Amino acid sequence: MNMKNKLINALLDTPFAVLLAFVSWLSLTAGLLMIVVYVINKVFELPEITWVNKRPRKNVN
C-alpha cells in the first residue's frame, strides 16, 4: 500500500517537474538565441531588412 502511494505521488509530481524543466529550458534557449542573433548582427552588421508586401527588401541607406 505504501509503495502504491509513493508511485501515485511520483506520477502526480512528474508532469509538474517536466513542465518546469521544459519552461526553464525554453526560456534559456530563447535567451541564448537572442544573444546569438544580437552578436551576429553586431559582428556582420547585416543590413536591416524591412518587410514590404510580405517580401524582404533591403534598405537602400
Query: Tens of pLDDT along 12-38?
Result: 778 888 888 898 999 999 999 999 988
* Residue whose C-alpha cell reads 506520477 in the numeric block: 11
According to DSSP, the residues that pair with 55 across neighbouring strands are: 52
Q: How many domains does one find in the chain?
A: 1
The domain of 6 spans 2-58
For residue 61, give the nearest of 37, 40, 45 by alpha carbon: 45
* Residue whose C-alpha cell reads 547585416 in the numeric block: 46
How open is the CA angle 58-33-48, to the nearest 5 degrees? Answer: 10
Threshold 0.85, pTM exceeds: no
